[in-house]
A and B are shown apart, each in its own frame.
Chain A
Amino acid sequence: MTSRRRFLGTVLAAAALPRLGWADAGSPAFLAAAQEPDGTHALFGLTEEGADLFRVPLPARGHAAAAHPEAPEAVAFARRPGTYALVLNCATGAVTARLAAAPGRAFNGHGAFSMDGAVLYTSEVEAATGEGRIALWSRPDGYRLIGEIASGGIGPHEIRRLPGSEVLAVANGGIRTGPGDRDKLNLDTMAPNLTYLSPDGRVEDQARLAPDLHRASIRHLAIDALGTVAFAMQWEGAEDQAPALLGFHRLNGGAPRLAKAPDDLHRAMRGYAGSIAVFDAGRQVAISSPKGGRVQVFGSDGRFAHEILRADVCGIAAAGARLVMTDGFGAFVVTEGGRPVAHTRAPRAWDNHIVAL
């Protein structure tokens, strides 16, 4: 039975109103969550130069966001184990839908849209077992939960869709957490993977690391226009044993290729990459380490290029041939060739991710 609200929603959606596009939101180039001085949280839309375009309050600490491919709409995800995902109209700042995870499920901080933007995929865990799930939400139906598929592993974190395809790349981090908390329960047996899923749940491919690297949690993804998946890892073993934190893989492309900086610089990453971005038309990839206070840039061939030192840096995103980065002290820095060329500063602590639109 169609509810009155849904009926009205459908009428409104179908009405001959001019459709809002991203330009109506003041064309933000980036979205990023932050903590404000009073301890509350908000999502910000930013210009390419880092100026604020809009601010949407969030009910709790945010993590990442997924932007709709056409409409000025974004879904902001809570930090895991997440209780909320909010659909925001980025033109008006209005919250247009609130997603609640199904009973026994928790959001894991990331999501992605289908090619046409009709379906939102969210990375989730079954709270009791840590089994990974991808929930499917129908946007035309007001973000109704329409299904769920297995993520192909434990503790899925970031998910991204391959370009020009409905196949999803899923970073199954491998870490089982306690129900509703962040305690890591299975570090001895964790086995992360990178899984490629069709929307019907079929596993198209799955990349794993060598057994001695099983403590390298695959957590974040960036994909170039040709479908090469770059993934960033967080090492859960002894810090001085940390292997490469960056890997590359292609669907049905065999074993992943790993890349790391020369020894001393690699050590300085502290076994931790918090975010990843492909930029410069796929020619460069960057990983950030807030623990090490640095961003390391590699060529798409995996060769280390240079690093940029920024305390508490975590969010990184592409801006053409430039790389932007945000830190916990409110700085938004545009870099080119490893040098800062512009920056803004705001009284807020930027959180882990900045999402390029």
Chain B
Amino acid sequence: MRLLIAALCLLPLPLRADPVIDRVLDEVVSPGLAVFTTATGALEAAAVADCRATSEDLRAAWAGAMDAWFGIADLRFGPLEDGAQRQIIAYWPDNGGHRPKALARWLAGWQPGAEDAAAFRTQPVSVRGLYAMESMLYDPRFNTYTKSDAGCALVRLATADLSATAHEVATAWEEDFATVLRTAGDAGNARFLDAIEARQAVFTALLTSLQFDIVERIGLPLGTVETPRPTRAEGRLSGRSQRNLELSLAAHEALARALVPEGATLTGEDFERVRWMAARLDDPDFSGVADPTGRFRLEAVQTALTLLRTVANEELSAALGVTMGLNALDGD
């Protein structure tokens, strides 16, 4: 017994465990990573079973992986950012419209029997990850390949690559970064120099993610009043623009709740309102932005989300004792 107590005393317990960080890890990070690795593994298996775009199983598995992505997409710090893993998994928006060209180039250069997972990892991010798979499964320019075509090889390589990347991210969290977050401010923690920096990282990630929805996920298809850009909507090919937005908002709310579970009343009310509005858009691929009514509805969500972000910034920063930086959003 005495030995056991002595052993327990030697465990490197963090001196100042931050309940905020513990909640983020327990409620968002761990379950999010588990779901994402499972879903990308299932996608890889589905592609092995049947790589064709006509496969309902493959499409369902891809949709499952896409859904699961939103569970970790808000983690804009740590393993997803350390080696461009975010871009590898989910390179969007494709502002220059390079994806179709890059896919066509890869497909044209394919030689039967030359499937090399290692070589695939050096390919541009526009042919890798969830959105490249969306093009292969739903873009009529690409989704007619047979089992012996380059398209099949690409789908198998890319889904395996995605699954491997997901596991790398999860492993990096489990073996290293969760501890780095928990020991923020400890001597020897080169990443987070003060305890507050861990909270700061999560808070900033949330606000950046909200901004991403405002400016990119909603802002890109809205375009301008004169020139709406429905073709720039995320998830247009697969008809899941609205679903992606809804899942993204749900993930933001979950992260906000993990950060500040009680007391952020206005933020909570705003999330309820914005999610209610998004759920009633009735515009699966945002093509509605091309007509005034549809545009008005999506614009209303954007406005409500912009207000939510301001409220969340005030309420959460006060509760957490942190502030928002300004360099990442508007450099010069």
| Interface check A121, CB cutoff 8 A | no
Cβ–Cβ < 8 Å partners of B82 in chain A: 268, 309
The reply to whether B95 and A264 contact each other, CB–CB distance below 8 Å, is: no
Query: Which of A8-16, A20-28, A337-345 has 4 or more CB atoms under 8 Å from chain B?
Result: A337-345
Q: Scoring B residues 314 to 332 as 1 if CB is less than 8 Å from chain A, else 0, what string do you get?
A: 0000000011111110011
| Interface check A291, CB cutoff 8 A | yes
The reply to whether B325 and A329 contact each other, CB–CB distance below 8 Å, is: yes
Please indicate which of the listed interface residues B98, B124, B200, B328 has the most CB atoms of chain A within 10 Å of its own CB: B328
A347 CA to B303 CA, complexed, in Å? 30
| Contact residues, A32-54 vs B (CB, 8 A) | 35, 37
Closest to B191 in A: A309
Known: A268-B83, A340-B193. A274 touches B325 (CB 8 A): no
The reply to whether A314 and B327 contact each other, CB–CB distance below 8 Å, is: yes
Query: Which of A84-92, A193-201, A235-243 has 4 or more CB atoms under 8 Å from chain B?
Result: A235-243
- Distance to closest chain A CB from B152 (angstroms): 24
Closest to A339 in B: B190
| Contact residues, A321-357 vs B (CB, 8 A) | 327-331, 333, 339-340, 343, 345, 347, 349-352
The reply to whether A351 and B327 contact each other, CB–CB distance below 8 Å, is: yes
- Residues of A in contact (CB 8 Å), total 45
| Interface check A234, CB cutoff 8 A | yes
- Distance to closest chain A CB from B82 (angstroms): 7
Closest to B97 in A: A238
The listed residue (A109, A241, A328) touching B326 by CB distance below 8 A is A328
- Residues of B in contact (CB 8 Å), total 35
Closest to A343 in B: B193
The listed residue (A157, A263, A293, A351) touching B328 by CB distance below 8 A is A293
| Interface check A226, CB cutoff 8 A | no
Closest to A315 in B: B327
A350 CA to B324 CA, complexed, in Å? 11
| Contact residues, B51-88 vs A (CB, 8 A) | 77, 81-84, 87-88
A46 CA to B174 CA, complexed, in Å? 39
| Interface check B126, CB cutoff 8 A | yes
A292 CA to B249 CA, complexed, in Å? 23
Closest to A265 in B: B83
The reply to whether A238 and B96 contact each other, CB–CB distance below 8 Å, is: yes
A201 CA to B75 CA, complexed, in Å? 50
Cβ–Cβ < 8 Å partners of B328 in chain A: 290-291, 293, 311-312, 328
The reply to whether B331 and A352 contact each other, CB–CB distance below 8 Å, is: yes
A219 CA to B331 CA, complexed, in Å? 11
| Interface check B183, CB cutoff 8 A | no
The listed residue (A37, A80, A109, A290) touching B327 by CB distance below 8 A is A290
The listed residue (B88, B96, B331) touching A237 by CB distance below 8 A is B96
The reply to whether B81 and A267 contact each other, CB–CB distance below 8 Å, is: no
A200 CA to B81 CA, complexed, in Å? 47
The reply to whether A333 and B193 contact each other, CB–CB distance below 8 Å, is: yes
The reply to whether A79 and B87 contact each other, CB–CB distance below 8 Å, is: no
The 22 sampled A-B contact pairs (Cβ below 8 Å) are: A79-B332, A157-B332, A239-B87, A240-B124, A241-B124, A265-B83, A265-B84, A267-B87, A290-B328, A312-B328, A313-B327, A314-B327, A314-B331, A327-B325, A328-B326, A329-B204, A329-B322, A329-B323, A331-B194, A343-B194, A345-B193, A352-B332
Q: Which 3 A-B pairs have the closest CB atoms?
A: A328-B325, A238-B96, A312-B325
User: Contact residues of B with A, CB < 8 Å?
Assistant: 77, 81-84, 87-88, 91, 94-98, 122, 124-126, 190-191, 193-194, 196-197, 200-201, 204, 322-328, 331-332
Extra contacts, 19 of them, besides A328-B327, A331-B197 (Cβ < 8 A), are: A63-B332, A157-B332, A238-B96, A239-B95, A263-B122, A265-B83, A272-B331, A274-B331, A290-B328, A291-B331, A311-B200, A314-B327, A327-B325, A329-B200, A329-B322, A340-B193, A349-B324, A351-B327, A352-B332
User: Contact residues of A with B, CB < 8 Å?
Assistant: 35, 37, 63, 79-80, 109, 157, 219, 234, 237-241, 263-265, 267-268, 272, 274, 290-293, 309, 311-314, 327-331, 333, 339-340, 343, 345, 347, 349-352
